Structure 1
Amino acid sequence: MVREDEKKFDITWPVHKLSCEQKEIEREALDFAKSKLDKGQKAIFVIEGQAGTGKSVLVTALFNEIQAACKDKDSIFGGTKNYVLVNHPEMLKFYKRIAGESSILLKKNFERPTSFINKIQKSAEKADVVIVDEAHLLLTKKDAYNHFYQENQLQEILKNAKIVILIFDNKQVLKAKSYWSKQKLAAILGEDNVKIRHLQKQFRIEANSDVQDWINGFCNKKICCLPEKQKFDFRIMNDSKQMYELIKEHEVTAGLSRLLATYDFPYRLDGNDYFVKAGTLSLRWDRSKPQESLAWAERTDTIDEVGSVYTIQGFDLNYAGVILGPSLGYDEQLSKLVVRSELYEDQAAFNGLKHLNTNIKAVKERLILNALNVLLTRARKGLYIYAVDKNLQKKLLQG
């Protein structure tokens, strides 16, 4: 239960009223799964959608329907074993909390892909329906750090489930070890018994289309004219401390307001605090607290921290202040945004690129821009941007 005094800060669904588009895709996915289970056919249903199109809301509504039907012995889903997988620890916390508040969903049905794969391979039974949220985070190579020793997580999931429903956005791929090109995805999915649907409607950003156009352009190295003044509060800031003060004010009045930054400032998982230093502001990075039941975006104490792409991906904010670090700059002679991958602190994101048969420089750039896209698409009501690079800040202020 959500306390009365917590309601304005709550980011849970369940279950939000679905849009017509979401309802249609939910119905198609359910009918698809029923038909394939009835015929004993393995099949894949892919739901593609960019940030803010309501993918996770649809996951919860869809899984809610499946698990409710699971208790009905006359349903095709009766007695089936079904799971939601997500390769994102903060999102997994979120899902498990939702399950803990539900009379239908169980925490044990929400897992990390590696845990699911390792468990199901020891069992004599296969899973029936597996929904993979944030499927763009699935590993595409061995990763001993994550205890995954096979070649590809999606392939292993497909081997061990009858129906797989993938929620996918190739603009949110963040690491080389989970690098999915459209071609690679198509090669694994094949053509038999695969259906693909697209979510188009944007729910998160409560703004005119010029704001979304500006964000899309910037994440593709284009600096467009600044959006017109409107209800959505879009600002380019020249004072990082002032941006933080605005965020703190919104946290009091609206809740869910946080500072975020590109991964351009040192950070290590060694128990020490590390700081984002931008202009006159010095604020610590988000602390790793795996023991916390609430995700970083849900905890009120994190107003004193700067969130990274890894803690905020998949979550909504009301107001976001985004610090663009040194990896993003502006070349005045070439009159264009430049991406300096050598200054990106998350060099681990590039591990394994040499094994890809592709342009390494271009992929590094794409991974950084994907992370930028995640940060810039979190806010519902207002987005503030501060650039460390003086040339970039000057250009952004000019519009």
Structure 2
Amino acid sequence: MRLYIGSTQQFIKDTVHNQIADRLKAAFFNYYRYAPSPGEMRSWRQSLASISQVFQHNNLLDHGIILEYQIPFTSKRLDCLIAGRDSHGKDNAVIIELKQWEKCSPADGENEVITYVGGANREVLHPSAQVGQYATYLQDVHTAFYEPPKPVTLSACAYLHNYRFVSDEVLLTEKFAQNLERYPLFSMDDVDPLSGFLKTRLEGGAGLEVLGRIEDGRYRPSKKLMDHVGNVIKGKPEYILLDEQLVAYDRVMASARTGIGDRRKTVIIIKGGPGTGKSVIAINLMADLLLAGYNAHYATGSKAFTETLRKIIGNRGAVQFKYFNSYMDANPDAVDVLICDEAHRIRETSHNRFTAKAKRTDAPQIQELISASRVSVFFIDQDQIVRPAEIGSVRHIREFAAKNDCLLFEHELETQFRCSGSDAFVSWINNTLGIARTAHVLWTGEENFEFKIFDSPESLEATIRLKAREGFSARMTAGFCWEWSKHNPKAALNDDVVIGEYKRPWNARHEATKLPKGVPKAQFWAHDPNGIDQIGCVYTAQGFEFDYVGVIFGNDIMYSFLDGSWVGHPENSKDPVVRGAKGKFIDLAKNTYRVLLSRGLKGCYVYFLDPDTEKFFRSRMDITGEAHHKVREEEIEPYVNALPLFDLRDLEGMSLAEWRARLEECWKGEYRHVLGGPFLRNRFLVRAEDASMEPLIPKDAFCQFRIPSVESPDNQVVLAGISTYSKKTSGVTIKRYQRLSIIQAGQVAETTKILLTSENKTFPALELRAGVDNIEI
């Protein structure tokens, strides 16, 4: 997602005419469905005017630019990216972080300073550290910046256009030297050095072509936490921490350095919703604290999560991974730093029905955790409490931090990594379930995240299995509305989840033994590939993420149109603990579905048992089922929310140059609404007029094409204009392009044959001869 894309020449024109902030505002509203804040509008006007002057001063007019570009798989937006070629013709792009700061003061974190933002003085990342993380992250996940043979070289810098350095400048202190060397920082007095930095990388121009490569690049799936924990523990971090994630990380590391010898203990609370990277930070901290010589423990309240970590890390590292109830007998200050992940699962006390009577104590579990460590770190999402005995809350932790006279720090995580970086989806789920009132009342779709409702559990599971066969991680989950039967050793798992003819087993119970071959233990269901054959419940899914998650939404809570609210049905719940929670039941059930629905990185697929609940969800979706629909004339924003629609018959007989001219001129024809704008002006829509490309492209579906780049179209779906020597075939068609060499025995290739094939094999392929028949794509 980006709010503005085009040429630097157009950007300068929009800025000079004071239109740039309004264009960003329109694109912002089109995407988020609410207006940007006045502060953001002021920031756009001031910062973009400043960088526009730099571009104009250096005659950087033949370049491509993206503004407010959402970093893949996060919710963070970088300010400005400019693309072009250097003097040797090599493709380059530069990220420019723009700041309106005027002064700052020191902070004790390795990457932070203190400045006035958001109405108060706050600890924030040094601009070079911030933009450096953006660059590193993009280089790791965007194919345009790493894929051979000639990846785009990515650089980064920060421009503080209102800032004047002083003699003992905080931003230039020694601890930032490495970041400053790699990602330089320019003040209001450094226009000439900034100009040199940009011109060295971009003086060759041709930026729209480079921008096209970036636009056409793919996003590699974000790395899975469990697959890389082993390397993280060995000191090879696989995750890039962004913005407030790095601030929280640095706070813990700073407290470890100072807090071990301090008279007072330290408590750090790190709050964040699903997918904000709580476990990512926790794992990075665990690795780096151990490598730095600190006795660090990692504790959770989840058997599945802890046991999976232990399995991946191996026996040597597993001893440092504990449960919240592991500290009943711990000596005071036995642990330097205790990392408590999923702290919302903290219970009132640590004993349970299996605890020997002599060992039982009334000591609160939170007190045991704080007592056992010099520095205790709590990662928490209060809306993930799914059992009545789970009492972990920010208020609860604060209370015991005060009782123990602890230094207290609190951090809030906002960057979204799950749901393809979509804050909107998690916010919409919170709103729809009535967990929180948010700005996202309607789900209008996201270009990188798919939410789909299915008519049957069979079709839902078939799609999940298809995703797994395609190489994605995918799992089926369900609300706890079916009995979880005990396992008979060596027998197959019982098909507990029954919906008509659909019958599937739950994942194995934790205490199950002698499981059939291929059935993973409960704690490994999320990580073992064979877990796709069972349905997971919230207790085995919580804490994990998958590329695609399938959710069977049960009838333990249902939406009542008569009451205009959610209604709990504990009689339909098969979770005895939650069923007996009385006044807490509906909140726990809502949290359960919030957890399940937010497990997906790329998509969430749902089947509803209750028709009214499905109807309610659909009523809060503004998706027509057709991504390219007509919009009213007054709503059209060309190349922001709509693309021109070409009729195939109108394109017959036109050359590629004429097509391009039609696109570049002021289009007077029909537009269709398209998600994912703004777009480059080489994009357009056509309608598939026959069934030749089914099932890939259904008849009458709209297809988005672009004037081709220099890349080979081989094996790609193309829009082809054909005229043959024999006149037997002519016109414009949608087909898959294949180029084949015709080789005779003992000779090199004499000629080339082009095949235009259909997905629907009842339609014959078109065979053309290079140099004889004419084809433009």
Please classify the TM superposition score into its range, dividing by the shorter chain length: 0.7 to 0.9
Task: Report the CA distance shift for 1:171/1:107 in structure 2 as closer, same or farther (over 3 A).
Answer: same
Q: CA deviation at 1:215?
A: 1.2
Tell me the residue number matched to 1:317.
546
Q: What SS does structure 1 have at the residue aligned with 2:497?
A: strand
Task: Report the CA distance shift for 1:156/1:8 in structure 2 as closer, same or farther (over 3 A).
Answer: closer
Tell me the residue number matched to 1:162.
374
Task: Give the counterpart of 1:12 among 219, 222, 227.
Answer: 227
Q: How many residues align?
A: 370
Q: How far apart in 2 are the matches of 1:8 and 1:254?
A: 14
Q: How far apart in 2 are the matches of 1:239 and 1:280?
A: 10
Tell me the residue number matched to 1:198.
412
Task: Give the counterpart of 2:585 among 350, 364, 367.
Answer: 364
CA contact (8 A) 1:177 1:349 kept: no
Tell me the residue number matched to 1:90.
304
The structure whose residues are more often helix, as a share, is 1
Q: CA deviation at 1:213?
A: 2.9
Q: Is 1:63–2:286 an aligned residue pair?
A: yes
* TM-score normalised by L of structure 2: 0.45
Tell me the residue number matched to 1:132.
340
Q: How far apart in 2 are the matches of 1:316 and 1:388?
A: 24
Q: Which amino acid aligns with 1:298?
A: H
Q: Which amino acid aligns with 2:569?
A: R
CA contact (8 A) 1:83 1:130 kept: yes
Q: CA deviation at 1:218?
A: 2.2
Q: How far apart in 2 are the matches of 1:183 and 1:116?
A: 22
Q: What SS does structure 2 have at the residue aligned with 1:258?
A: strand
Work out the percentage of aligned pairs sharing the same amino acid: 22
CA contact (8 A) 1:49 1:168 kept: yes
Q: CA deviation at 1:261?
A: 0.5
Task: Give the counterpart of 2:530 among 301, 304, 313.
Answer: 301
Q: How far apart in 2 are the matches of 1:165 and 1:244?
A: 39
Q: CA deviation at 1:304?
A: 1.3
Task: Report the CA distance shift for 1:141/1:38 in structure 2 as closer, same or farther (over 3 A).
Answer: closer
Residues 379-394 of structure 1 aligned to structure 2 (within 5 Å) = 379-394=600-615
CA contact (8 A) 1:207 1:230 kept: no
Q: Is 1:252–2:469 an aligned residue pair?
A: yes
Tell me the residue number matched to 1:149.
360
Q: Which amino acid aligns with 1:23?
A: L
Q: Is 1:114–2:325 an aligned residue pair?
A: yes
Q: How far apart in 1 are the matches of 2:393 and 2:579?
A: 15
Tell me the residue number matched to 1:176.
388
* TM-score normalised by L of structure 1: 0.84
CA contact (8 A) 1:86 1:111 kept: yes
Q: CA deviation at 1:131?
A: 0.9
Q: How far apart in 1 are the matches of 2:406 and 2:226?
A: 38
Q: How far apart in 1 are the matches of 2:317 and 2:381?
A: 26
Q: What SS does structure 2 have at the residue aligned with 1:286?
A: coil
Task: Give the counterpart of 1:374 among 595, 598, 613.
Answer: 595
CA contact (8 A) 2:339 2:377 kept: yes
CA contact (8 A) 1:321 1:385 kept: yes
Q: How far apart in 2 are the matches of 1:65 and 1:389?
A: 48
Tell me the residue number matched to 1:4.
none
Summarize deviations over 1:330-387 as a string: whole Å, max 9, x none. Answer: 2121233323233222121366x5xxxxxx52x2221111111110110011111111
Task: Give the counterpart of 2:248 among 25, 30, 53.
Answer: 25
CA contact (8 A) 1:132 1:167 kept: yes
CA contact (8 A) 1:10 1:298 kept: no
Q: How far apart in 2 are the matches of 1:212 and 1:160?
A: 35
Largest Rg, 1 or 2 = 2
Task: Report the CA distance shift for 1:31/1:107 in structure 2 as closer, same or farther (over 3 A).
Answer: same
Q: Which amino acid aligns with 1:234?
A: F
Task: Report the CA distance shift for 1:189/1:281 in structure 2 as closer, same or farther (over 3 A).
Answer: farther
Q: Which amino acid aligns with 1:243?
A: L
Q: What SS does structure 1 have at the residue aligned with 2:275?
A: coil
Task: Report the CA distance shift for 1:337/1:227 in structure 2 as closer, same or farther (over 3 A).
Answer: farther
Q: How far apart in 1 are the matches of 2:317 and 2:495?
A: 36
Structure 2: which 5+ residue stretches go unaligned?
1-221, 514-519, 621-777
CA contact (8 A) 2:325 2:351 kept: no
Summarize deviations over 1:241-300 as a string: whole Å, max 9, x none. Answer: 101100000011133111110111111445563511235422111112568687211111
Q: What SS does structure 2 have at the residue aligned with 1:106?
A: helix
Please tell me the root mean square deviation across aligned C-alpha atoms, in Å: 2.7
Task: Give the counterpart of 2:483 among 266, 277, 285.
Answer: 266
